[in-house]
Structure 1
Amino acid sequence: MIIPGMKRIRITCMMALPVMLFLLSAASSGQTSTYKLLVDMGTRYDYAYSVAVQHDNKVIVGGDAWGNPCLIRFDTTGAPDYSFGSSGKVFTSWNCASNPADNDIKVQEDGKIVLGTRYDNGTDENFVVARFHTDGTADSTFSGNGKVITRIGDYSDLCNCIAIQPDGKILAGGCTGVDTASKWMYDFAVVRYHPDGTIDTEFGENGSVSTHIGNQYSIGYSMAIQPDGKIILAGETRDSIFSDVAIARYHPDGSPDHSFGTAGIVRTTLSETDDFARSVALQSDGKIVVAGSTQQDLSNYDIALLRYLPDGSLDNTFGVNGIVKTDVGIEFGSSVVVQPDQKIIVAGGLTTTTIYDFAILRYHTDGILDNSFGNNGLMSISFGGGDSEGQSVALGNDGEIIIAGSYNHGAPNYFDFALVRLFSRLNPSASPLLSFPENGAAGQQVSPELVWSPVQGNASYHIQISGVPDFTTLAFEANGITATSCTAEGLDYNTTYYWRVCATVNGITGNWSDTWSFTTIDETGMAIDNETQIRLYPLPAADILFIGGIENEHSIVELLSADGKMIRQTEGFGIKYIHLRGIPGGMYILRVTSSGTDLIKKIMKLE
């Protein structure tokens, strides 16, 4: 079936079967242009479950082709990337038995692609994690053949999600079977691997951890890693008939984090029937956002969005006591992501009749639907006369929203990959979030570096600094900044300043950010070397000593004890400070070597 207005492109898949791609340029909806794509992976049962965006903005989709995990990569135009696998596709060589089989993909910093799913060994199922080079070939440096199969317990183990730590270690999450009498008896499970694919035996018990929550089953579907290294696994748990939202948090070593909920576990009941979480994301302030569904009666589901404080308690500044339920028909929440402006995107499926469509919703930070997005915060996207449902959402590097899922053409058992790409223009109410220096910070240099968070899209920024909070007079102003930081010049010593930033995307300028303040240092707290013009401040110093005048030079900065022993050294281009934290108070010698000149200065370190 061809949908009117679509452009049809014919290519050939690696299985020598014809593949039809349909690309529709839909009318703009509010501030968003919508593009849709259907892909036949060559079998009757093609289900997309995960999507990731590379640094070059190419899009990778992971899914299942009649029991075989598979990947496809698209270039920035939406066409298959022929430099990846065969005609843009990669099919794995192992079978998942259960069809469809959930899977998850992530992109490492080096561009390698990690896939987590399940493997059928003929008796039960095990975790399998595979890694691919950027061209789609198996990475033989990972477990020797590009994949590692892990059996956690004595029964089936189901891998539903993965996460990559900053140190390159890979986490795989899901559940592990605990009872041979029932295939539905599971506990939460997490396994950690070294970057070479070997099990990290220092994690949990010999590399894995399992958590019992409900008496019948507990299944983890989504995972997030906090900046402090703690690990969050979200899903559902059941005691008998109905399920609840379940979340567990672990220390970096795999032990339960007892500062979270009760003994590291949070269980939330939203209704008298089924409630479950399918996705978890982190806000920049450390709050935890969970998306899923809640059953309002035995046939009607609503999208459920919950926000928790870092200690696991519900955040009562969000929705109603930390919970938002969205009812526009029958809806399922499958995936959640937090935008740079902290607005929340949820993807899933909905119907107001008998046919399901993709559902994309955007919420403000307080849980209210964002009326500037779609139709009062909701976009419902149909691919034709059959059911479709979004399973995974990701943000592109230019602020676009990408959703992957599946579409049923209406013929018996014919499913294809389905994708939606939303190119959002800047919401005029969007504004950057100020980051550094902290609001009200004292002791700042007179040429401070001011930092803020990005907004969606290819933005430029306008910054103003004033000595008065209403900005009627300006001490510094810069426009057309493409970075998310700016070094101000010409400020006075011992003065309180106010600053704000706004963004422009596609010719649309948003609102000003919140106004923050900072106070510059007293001139008496600075030492200026007349010969080199190198500035040191504040003096005496506590935790940090700023160094001015070498911002554009390659320099070596050394801190020596009073008797000349090396205490600390830093070398590089554009050095602006040296940390003194952890060094006892007393007199030290600072030596700065830059552009062939040396500055040697005695400094006092405060306790």
Structure 2
Amino acid sequence: ADGKILIAGYSRNSTYQNYINIVRYSNNGTLDATFDGDGKVIAELDSTNDECNILLLQPDNKLLAIGTKRNATENGYLFKDIALARYNGDGSLDASFGADGKVVSVFAPNDMNKVHQAVLQPDGKIVISNTYYNIYTGNSILHHELIRYTPNGVIDMAFGTSGRVIIDAEPVTMLSQPDGKIIVITLSYDSQSNAFVTLKRYNTNGLIDTSFGNNGTTGFAGIFWGPLTAALHPTGKIIIAESSPNTNGVSTFALTCFNPDGTIDSTFENDPMPGDTGRYSYGIFVEPDGKIIVAGRSTSVSDGGSTFFEFITARYNPDGSIDATYGTGGVVTSYLGSTYEPYNIIRSIVYQPDGKFLVALTKEEQNPASPNPNSYDFVIYRFNADGGYDSEFGTNGQVITSFYNKYDEAFAMVVQPDNKIVVAGTTDTGINRDFSLVRFKNSIALGSSKFEAGAGLILYPNPVKDILHLQATDATGIIDYSIYNMLGKLLDKSTGDSLKVDVSDFSSGIYNVHINTNKGTLSKKFVKE
């Protein structure tokens, strides 16, 4: 594992055809030449336009890009099929997946599909949430569904009915539990435009899990002015971040917490954050110690009256209260751009183990030399944990990448276990729009070879090759420990006062260890070589 960064998106050429892109960056934000020779990959599904908006990182370090492929009927109607492509670590297509690394699913002729999100299950299966309608029906009746694929890209007929499960509202996000169950979160409105967030949990076979909530369903009503995001807490609780009005009537962060059984956690504080600037959540992350980070965008007005965007993060305690020790009043902000840049919209956020944030977006650039003076590029910002651009990343904390100086749109980003960044999206080649990936190098500061994990407690060696020692000294006693990967998946758990943990089978990368002692709880990171 090498920690490089990947971003997914798409770009457009002069004949309005799309290519799906993946870009990988090295540790300082430079392109990673070990990824397809120049850090960039373009995958054409066929001669049509493709759009990529999802990127998943598999445990084996392979990359799964998901989106749609556009076609046209004899009558000129446009429709979109579901498309997937899987890449090896060097950027080549994985021939063991689908047909030469690519899968296109056509369930009915002339369906217009919109893929919302995808998750990997512990057994390697892929679940996609999708909305579709048929362009020949003469109306826009929307149908919502889940679709599951086997690890080699075949529709899993053991899931639901012929690999599909019908859901009754538009899915906004999904969570995959360690036991393989899936939580689907939808947003719907009644005839009076009242909004409802609904959570449903499905068993591994696609049937509703009736032990969750009320016969598999739970939820809440509210007013939502922006995206909804969700995360699983290490305790199994489900935390949803909303963009809701506060007492000042402006959009701000709000959290809602559910217990693992689907009941509302009444002990969790869920009042919207105070403030007088608009705040919209785009990502939620749970730290190993149970604290919660919400990241997104705020809109502010300068003293001169101009409006601008800021990248904003807020940290909450495990009970939902604001962590006043973080930033100023629990909030950290950094300048992102002016509101006159309409494409300066956050697409993906990654929270690094060192507390820094990577933000991927599409940025509109002025290009006077082009027949069309506006071009659209992949952009990554890296912000320090305490706010402000990270000057060690790219140029003043920013990296801009273009494929054909035309139309490149970033949609998704992951950080590999070796810290490299991969961004995926769509690019316009001048002939088609295709999937595109870019990989960059990325540096993350880590601990020393042996460090104090707390009073009377040591964790060594770090980095580690095979055996990690958790050792209590003095009067400190270890009650239990849990080890998680950077995706939040529990890998190991045990008890004892003096422990030797065999990590020889772990992939190279960064891991979190959560230790409960008779003097309290602490969380540390270690590196597997």
Deviations 1:366-389 (A, max 9, x none): 223333333333233324444433
> TM-score normalized by structure 1?
0.58
Q: 1:505 aligns to what?
A: none
Q: 1:168 aligns to what?
A: 124
Q: 1:110 aligns to what?
A: 60
Find the partner of 1:376 among 285, 308, 329: 329
SS of alignment partner, residue 382 of structure 1? strand
Q: Which amino acid aligns with 1:227?
A: P
SS of alignment partner, residue 222 of structure 2? coil
Q: Is the 8 A contact 2:350 2:357 kept in 1?
A: yes
Q: 2:427 aligns to what?
A: none
Q: Distance in 1 between matches of 2:7 and 2:235?
A: 29
Q: 2:183 aligns to what?
A: 232
Find the partner of 2:206 among 239, 250, 254: 254
Q: 1:16 aligns to what?
A: none
SS of alignment partner, residue 29 of structure 2? coil
Q: By how many angstroms is 1:219 displaced?
A: 2.0
Q: 1:486 aligns to what?
A: 469
Q: Which amino acid aligns with 2:318?
A: T
Alignment of 1:24-173 (within 5 A): 55-66=1-12, 67-85=18-36, 87-94=38-45, 103-122=53-72, 123-152=78-107, 155-173=111-129
Q: Which amino acid aligns with 1:373?
A: Y
Q: By how many angstroms is 1:259 displaced?
A: 2.0
Q: Is the 8 A contact 2:130 2:147 kept in 1?
A: no
Q: Is the 8 A contact 2:122 2:179 kept in 1?
A: no
Alignment of 1:207-606 (within 5 A): 207-212=163-168, 218-240=169-191, 241-271=193-223, 274=224, 278-294=228-244, 300-320=250-270, 324-325=272-273, 327-353=275-301, 354-385=307-338, 386-387=340-341, 388-409=344-365, 414-424=375-385, 457-458=446-447, 461-462=451-452, 478=458, 482=462, 486=469, 488=471, 498-499=477-478
Q: By how many angstroms is 1:145 displaced?
A: 2.4
Q: Distance in 2 between matches of 1:71 and 1:107?
A: 12
Q: 1:579 aligns to what?
A: none
Higher mean Cα deviation, 237-246 or 131-140? 237-246
Q: Is the 8 A contact 2:479 2:496 kept in 1?
A: no
Q: Is the 8 A contact 2:245 2:252 kept in 1?
A: yes
SS of alignment partner, residue 228 of structure 2? strand
Q: 2:431 aligns to what?
A: none
SS of alignment partner, residue 268 of structure 2? coil
Q: Which amino acid aligns with 1:486?
A: H
Q: By how many angstroms is 1:351 displaced?
A: 0.2
SS of alignment partner, residue 258 of structure 1? coil
Q: 1:451 aligns to what?
A: none
Q: Distance in 2 between matches of 1:95 and 1:334?
A: 33
> TM-score normalized by structure 2?
0.65
Q: Distance in 1 between matches of 2:452 and 2:108?
A: 57
SS of alignment partner, residue 3 of structure 2? coil
Q: Is the 8 A contact 1:127 1:159 kept in 2?
A: yes
Q: Which amino acid aligns with 2:219?
A: R
Kindly report the root-mean-square deviation, in angstroms, between the aligned alpha carbons of the 2 structures: 4.0
1:329–1:168: structure 2 CA closer, same or farther, 3 Å change rule?
same
Q: By how many angstroms is 1:86 displaced?
A: 5.7
List alignment gaps of at least 5 residues for structure 1. Answer: 1-54, 213-217, 426-455, 465-470, 503-516, 521-545, 553-607
List alignment gaps of at least 5 residues for structure 2. Answer: 13-17, 73-77, 302-306, 368-372, 387-444, 482-494, 503-529
Q: Distance in 2 between matches of 1:457 and 1:202?
A: 43
Q: Distance in 2 between matches of 1:102 and 1:245?
A: 26
Q: Is the 8 A contact 1:402 1:422 kept in 2?
A: yes
Q: Distance in 1 between matches of 2:47 and 2:219?
A: 30
% same residue: 26
SS of alignment partner, residue 79 of structure 1? strand
1:300–1:95: structure 2 CA closer, same or farther, 3 Å change rule?
farther
Higher mean Cα deviation, 256-265 or 200-209? 256-265
Structure index of larger Rg: 1
Q: Distance in 2 between matches of 1:518 and 1:82?
A: 46
Q: By how many angstroms is 1:134 displaced?
A: 1.2
Q: By how many angstroms is 1:313 displaced?
A: 2.2
Q: By how many angstroms is 1:410 displaced?
A: 7.7
How many equivalent residue pairs? 402
Find the partner of 1:199 among 144, 151, 155: 155
Q: Which amino acid aligns with 2:42?
A: F
Q: Distance in 2 between matches of 1:158 and 1:380?
A: 33
Q: Is the 8 A contact 1:301 1:331 kept in 2?
A: yes
Q: Is the 8 A contact 1:152 1:176 kept in 2?
A: no
Q: Is the 8 A contact 1:69 1:95 kept in 2?
A: no
Q: Which amino acid aligns with 2:297?
A: G
Q: By how many angstroms is 1:275 displaced?
A: 5.6
Q: Distance in 2 between matches of 1:371 and 1:231?
A: 34
Q: Which amino acid aligns with 1:59?
A: I
Q: Distance in 1 between matches of 2:359 and 2:174?
A: 18
Q: Distance in 2 between matches of 1:400 and 1:501?
A: 29
Find the partner of 2:133 among 177, 180, 186: 177
Q: By how many angstroms is 1:162 displaced?
A: 1.6
Q: Distance in 1 between matches of 2:261 and 2:226?
A: 20
* Larger RCO: 1 or 2 (CA < 8 Å, sep 6+): 2
Deviations 1:484-510 (A, max 9, x none): 96355999xxxx9745999xxxxxxxx
Q: Which amino acid aligns with 2:452?
A: H
Deviations 1:527-555 (A, max 9, x none): xxxxxxxxxxxxxxxxxxx9x9xx99xxx
Q: By how many angstroms is 1:257 displaced?
A: 1.5
Q: By how many angstroms is 1:220 displaced?
A: 1.7
Q: Is the 8 A contact 1:138 1:145 kept in 2?
A: yes
Deviations 1:173-218 (A, max 9, x none): 233438945436242x221111111111001111111211xxxxx2
Deviations 1:125-145 (A, max 9, x none): 232221111122221211112
1:497–1:397: structure 2 CA closer, same or farther, 3 Å change rule?
closer
